[in-house]
Amino acid sequence: MRNILIVGAGKGIGLKSAELLKDENLFTISRNSTPELESLGTHFFQLDVSTDDLSEVSLPDELHGVVFCPGSINLKPFNRLSEADFLADFNKNFMGAVRIIMKCLPALKKSKSASIVLFSTVAVKVGMPFHTSIAASKGAIEGFAKSLAAELAISNIRVNVIAPSLSDTSLAAQLLSTEEKRIASAKRHPLQRVGLPEDSANMVEFLLSDKSSWMTGQIIGIDGGLGNIKL
């Protein structure tokens, strides 16, 4: 049984990942607890990793995996975004990951074979209007992950990034609030549907497993083909 930490496990992709990995020794962090997460019986800590004191998070001496799932969908025209908007997205999407990895790194090194999984967005690869703030912060994640993967390879710690397109989670509820919106969103993807939480969670499970033991520094699109195909 491996020791795995999932940050942002309360809902969406993080929760689905926790459900898939329920047989591991799971440590979870979320700003809010949910009945679904409580039912899994994980070692749970309620806090915001981008702002709160992490000293209260008690983790084992050896960690085999860290998954950082928090995200935001702050879609506005550039001229309606403030500096505070950019900083909020940057702190939530990037600095939270930096802080938790700094805390976990000694335990990850002790495992002698560990995996870090981070999340970006297809909007980093494909320029999309109204995505400047979220794409900037997730773009930072991609650059960070590649450099960190190079640095930690000597410790046999792998670092990979999942870059989904729009997925049917509570974070995207407003974008999928009507049948018309769902149909329009589906048609933008070559595979003609929006993502499901399990689409990305299945990749989380794979990247934490020995089946991906020769993969590091990768940005993996789970995006219905949107990142590479134009119909």
Q: Is residue 109 part of a domain?
A: yes
Q: Which domain holds residue 211?
A: 3-165+196-222
Chain center to CA of 122: 13
Domain assignment present for residue 117? The answer is yes
pLDDT in tens, 103-144: 999 999 999 899 999 999 999 999 999 999 999 999 999 999
Residue 177 lies in a domain: no
- Degrees to nearest 5, angle at CA 183 with 179 and 186: 135
In a domain? residue 203:
yes
pLDDT, tens digit, 9 for 90 and up, residues 11-47: 999 999 999 999 999 999 999 999 999 999 999 999 9
Q: Looking at the 3D structure of the chain, how many domains does it have?
A: 1
- 69 neighbors 13 (Cβ within 8 angstroms): yes
**Which has more confidence, 73 or 150?**
150
CA-based torsion, 176, 180, 182, 184: positive or negative: negative
The pLDDT score that the predictor gives to residue 74 is 85
Q: Is 176 within the bounds of a domain?
A: no
- The span from the CA of 227 to the CA of 80, in Å, is 26
* Tokens linked to 220: 């993996």
Question: Cα separation of 10 and 117, whole Å?
Answer: 17
d(CA 70, CA 112): 26
Residue 46 domain-assigned?
yes
Q: What is the pTM of this model?
A: 0.96
Decide if 228 is inside a domain: no
Torsion of CA 112, 153, 216, 141, to 10 degrees: 110
CATH for 33:
3.40.50.720
Residue 229 lies in a domain: no
